[in-house]
Amino acid sequence: MKTEKLIHRIQKLLQRAPEETKLKKLHKTIKALRNKQKDLEQKLKRTQGKHARQRLQQKIDVLYVQRRKGIEVYRQLKAERREAA
CA distance 78 to 50: 42
Q: Per-residue confidence at 18, pLDDT binned at 50, 70, 90?
A: low
* Whether the predicted pLDDT of 46 surpasses 70: yes
Per the prediction, the chain carries an average pLDDT of: 89
Q: Which one-letter amino acid corresponds to residue 82?
A: R
The better pLDDT of the pair 3, 58 is held by: 58
Instruction: Indicate if the pLDDT at residue 81 is higher than 90.
Output: no
Name the pLDDT band for 20 (thresholds 50, 70, 90). Answer: low
How many CB atoms are located within 10 Å of the residue 10 CB?
22
With pLDDT > 70 as the criterion, what percentage of the chain qualifies? 92
- Report percent pLDDT > 90 for the chain: 60
